[in-house]
Amino acid sequence: MTFKIVPVIMAGGNGTRLWPLSRSQYPKQFLALGEQGESLLQATLNRLKDLDCLAPILICNEEHRFIAAEQLREINITGSIILEPEGKNTAPAITLAALQILDQIEEAEQENVIMLVLAADHYIEEQSAFEQAIFNAVDLAIQNYLVTFGIVPTKPETGYGYIQKGELIGQGNLVANFVEKPNKIQAEKYVEKGSFLWNSGMFVFKVNCFLQEMSLYASDILETCKVAISDSKKDMDFIRVSKDKFSLCRSESIDYAVMEKTQRAAVVPLDAKWSDIGSWSALWEIQKHDDCGNAIKGDVICLDSNNNYINAEHRLVTVLGLDDLIIVETKDAILITDKDHVQDVKKVVEKIKLQERTEHLSHREVYRPWGKYDSIDASERYQVKRITVKPGEKLSVQMHHHRSEHWIVVSGTAKVCKGQEQLLLTENQSVYIPVGEIHALENPGKIPLELIEVQSGAYLGEDDIVRFDDRYGRN
């Protein structure tokens, strides 16, 4: 019997513990944190290239849709992207994916379809061990087990839940018990016993088998997701789930909804140098170190210092006589903390929110489906941006009630619609767009268009945009 494997990649989440690199609008799964220059999402997908899998299904937040689509395009992978109108934890997300898979597979073959559920933001170093664990899990899934991967512990870790191994079955075990995150003493006991694994949050099971267990233990989630996905709409690369109907679904993890209740739970050990990169110290651990144990990225001078993680994105960072620190520099924020406090970075993010600042939301450089912009300078009544438009792309036909704009082309060619005028601008040429003027900007050329935009007016917020036409389906 031939089984088809469909990868399901969960790419939600905001990754606040890796602030200031990870922001709400550009979280850690889209960041290139490893040594290969690929994002964590891209690394997750590339990890599957040698496996016999069907096209993946990606689950992500509405606000991340264009980032996700662009990152798939960059590595030449096509797949479906399900947009969650709001985060409801893993049980509804995986249920939406399971229902979407059944919709794509002929009824006669549905019994032979297996889901491989992976997180988009995990690091796995040893590819062969990862692939072998998948083969072991698929063998158990074929026997109608709901299989999770348990990470072989390398230390007493209090940041993960644990899975206790039960009776041996094939190359895995029945699950004897799921355990919440322990204190340090309990974690030490778990590691000593050798029968406990870290809970990875990755799964393998038959689609139909999973949905059967959902109907037994979380039927309300299943029924709500059925209604929401049945009213979904296809929009370019995206599957838009009904917002009104999905909002009625309760939020629940797959562990609480099914895995802790089913009689079919099994676990396969995974020993592949895995990390969920849940903190800056975890990221330091997986990086290459110099002779003093420092992990360095960017323009850094480091003297008489040991075991630091130093990331300089935009300027020279110098470190002298310091040990065991995390130092992260971005265009608009700098983090300095010792490794013992990395779990508290989320408290910094909460403080930023309470002060009604914006550094938790986005970087100074913001990505859009047509390109990106960098907010160079701003004051009460003006803002300066450097805008990059990719070849062949176009911003929406729009107008503003409160601001005027002045565009100066730095390089490339700009096709500008200004009211009834059509203009073609090249390097050092400019155009003025007054308040209330309908306008659009396009790059008709073969190289990126770079321009400086000077906004002036009483209100400069991004929500002062009235769109009349947009090729990306934005309102």
Final residue in a domain of this structure, among 275, 307, 332: 275
| Least confident segment among 110-114, 244-248, 424-428, 447-451 | 110-114
Residue 51 lies in a domain: yes
pLDDT tier at 147 (50, 70, 90 boundaries)?
A: very high
- Give the rounded percent of residues in the chain with a pLDDT score beyond 70: 100
**Residue 62 sits in the same domain as residue 173:** yes
Euclidean distance between CA atoms 82 and 98, whole angstroms: 11
Phi, psi dihedrals of residue 381, rounded to the nearest 5° = -125, 10
Residue 462 lies in a domain: yes
Half-sphere exposure of 278 (CA within 13 A, CB side): 11
**Residue 294 sits in the same domain as residue 270:** no
**Residue 246 sits in the same domain as residue 349:** no
Which CATH number does the domain housing residue 375 bear? Answer: 2.60.120.10
Average pLDDT over every residue of 200-204: 96
Residue 359 lies in a domain: no
Q: Tell me the pLDDT tens digit for each residue of 81-98.
A: 999 988 899 999 999 999
| Structural domain count of the chain | 3
Which CATH number does the domain housing residue 114 bear? Answer: 3.90.550.10
CB atoms under 10 Å from CB of 432, counted, come to 11
**Residue 181 sits in the same domain as residue 83:** yes
Average pLDDT for the chain: 93
Q: Judge whether residue 168 has pLDDT over 90.
A: yes
Contact, 246 vs 59, CB < 8 A?
no
Residue 12 lies in a domain: yes
For residue 233, the model assigns a pLDDT of: 87
0.85 cut: is pTM over it? yes
Could you tell me the residue range of the domain that residue 162 belongs to?
Answer: 4-275
Q: Tell me the pLDDT tens digit for each residue of 356-365.
A: 998 998 888 8
For residue 362, the model assigns a pLDDT of: 86
**Residue 124 sits in the same domain as residue 47:** yes
Q: Tell me the pLDDT tens digit for each residue of 232-262.
A: 888 777 999 999 999 999 999 999 999 999 9
**Residue 271 sits in the same domain as residue 297:** no
Final residue in a domain of this structure, among 249, 275, 301: 275
**Residue 221 sits in the same domain as residue 293:** no
For residue 104, the model assigns a pLDDT of: 83
Average pLDDT over every residue of 339-367: 91
**Residue 331 sits in the same domain as residue 192:** no
Q: Tell me the pLDDT tens digit for each residue of 213-237.
A: 999 999 999 999 999 999 888 877 7
Q: Judge whether residue 108 has pLDDT over 80.
A: no
Euclidean distance between CA atoms 63 and 85, whole angstroms: 9
Residue 281 lies in a domain: no
Residue 92 lies in a domain: yes
Q: Judge whether residue 16 has pLDDT over 90.
A: no
**Residue 141 sits in the same domain as residue 189:** yes
Q: Judge whether residue 448 has pLDDT over 80.
A: yes
**Residue 163 sits in the same domain as residue 65:** yes
Contact, 284 vs 295, CB < 8 A?
yes
Phi, psi dihedrals of residue 309, rounded to the nearest 5° = -110, 120
Residue 442 lies in a domain: yes
Phi, psi dihedrals of residue 392, rounded to the nearest 5° = 80, -5
For residue 273, the model assigns a pLDDT of: 94
**Residue 44 sits in the same domain as residue 73:** yes
For residue 1, the model assigns a pLDDT of: 53
pLDDT tier at 134 (50, 70, 90 boundaries)?
A: very high
- Give the residue from 138, 53, 95 showing the smallest Cα distance to 103: 95
Residue 474 lies in a domain: no
Final residue in a domain of this structure, among 275, 310, 340: 275
- For the beta sheet containing 403-411, the strands, ordered from the edge strand earlier in sequence to the opposite edge, are 365-368, 371-378, 382-389, 449-457, 403-411, 430-433
**Residue 230 sits in the same domain as residue 325:** no
Cα end-to-end distance, the chain, whole Å: 47
